[in-house]
Amino acid sequence: MARGLTSAGISPNAISGFSVVASLLGGAAFLAASRGWLPWSAGWVAGAAMIQLRLLCNLMDGMVAIEGGKKSATGDLWNEIPDRLADTIFLVSAGWAIGLPWVGAIAAWASVMTAYARAMGAALTGGAHDFCGPCAKPHRMAILTVAALITAAEPLWKGHAEVMKFAIILLAAGTCLTIVRRILRLSAKLKEARP
């Protein structure tokens, strides 16, 4: 797939940007399902599919940039900023769709702060980025995908978004814990490095 994208002349930055489009489509699907504009199951499955498409974009942009020899001066910006937008859109939309907009907003804020703590750590130590969890981006998107798929099946037992409510609360709490954990790990590393 990376070779095909490279041959087609598609830039890594365009692939990164498309991840935001995928998140907008996925968030819209969550909201449409909750409001009856799409069939309940179809909307949640479509949202889950868009999460995976977003993650595929995250994988392909790096592969096209490095293996396709298409790295650009602004590549690092395009690698990070669309991720923050996509996280925010998915989490806010999921929270809004199930009637917990403030929990979705907390989860979205925390997802941005985890990335900030990671980037700050790399800048302060000059070392590798700390991707520790429990709710790093892959974990968040895995939880959201599984929750969306189970939510799609809830009509089978007359449920109505209970699984997604639990998931969004778990994501908000787990991502806040991740911020604390990354800051503590960074603090320990800085203390070790001090002469």
pLDDT digits (tens, 9 = 90+) for 13-52: 999 999 999 999 999 999 999 999 999 999 999 999 999 9
* C-alpha span between 153 and 164 (Å, rounded): 12
What Å distances lie between residue 60 and 2, 31, 42, 47, 132, CA to CA?
A: 6, 28, 26, 20, 22
Q: Which domain holds residue 61?
A: 2-193
pLDDT digits (tens, 9 = 90+) for 97-149: 999 999 999 999 999 999 999 999 999 998 889 999 999 999 999 999 999 99
Instruction: Judge whether 68 and 4 are in contact, CB under 8 Å.
Output: no
Q: What is the CATH number of the domain that holds 92?
A: 1.20.120.1760
Q: H or E segment at 143?
A: helix 137-153
* C-alpha span between 144 and 171 (Å, rounded): 8
Name the E strands within the chain.
Answer: none
Domain count, the chain: 1
pLDDT greater at residue 195 or residue 80 = 80
Indicate yes or no: pTM above 0.85.
Answer: yes
Label residue 111 exposed, middle or buried (CB < 10 Å: 0-12, 13-18, 19+): buried
pLDDT digits (tens, 9 = 90+) for 50-108: 999 999 999 998 888 887 778 888 888 888 999 999 999 999 999 999 999 999 999 99
* C-alpha span between 79 and 165 (Å, rounded): 30
pLDDT digits (tens, 9 = 90+) for 163-190: 999 999 999 999 999 999 999 999 999 9
pLDDT at 65: 86
